[in-house]
Amino acid sequence: MIPLVLRSSEATDMPEGRPWEFTTVWQEVVDGRISGEYQITSQGARIYDFVYTNLRNGKTVAFTQDDAAWQPDGCRWQ
């Protein structure tokens, strides 16, 4: 298990009738040091952006929403 610590959460007010949009940043802690960061942007049940940054080597992995990946039994993240 990799412990995560909430660093920040920001809400964006949306037009009436729409859910708020949230951008949340979580820090990954390994051996007592912050080693990575996850940034997630969501609105209601939808995740629009999910980015992981390895703080040791600077590499970033970005996951994007692919509507074609949706199946009746759920979404498949790639």
Mind listing the pLDDT tens digit for each residue in 3-12? 999 999 999 8
Is residue 26 a contact partner of residue 8, using CB atoms and an 8 Å limit? no
Q: Which amino acid is at 24?
A: T
Instruction: Name the residue among 59, 36, 49 with its Cα closest to residue 10.
Output: 49
pLDDT at 75 over 80: no
Task: State both tokens at 61.
Answer: 């992995």
pTM of the model: 0.76
- Average pLDDT rounded to a whole number, residues 16-41: 93
Rounded Cα–Cα distance for residues 61 and 16 (Å): 33
Mind listing the pLDDT tens digit for each residue in 32-72? 999 999 999 998 888 888 999 999 999 999 987 677 766 77
- Average pLDDT rounded to a whole number, residues 8-25: 89
The model's confidence at residue 23, banded by pLDDT at 50, 70 and 90, is very high
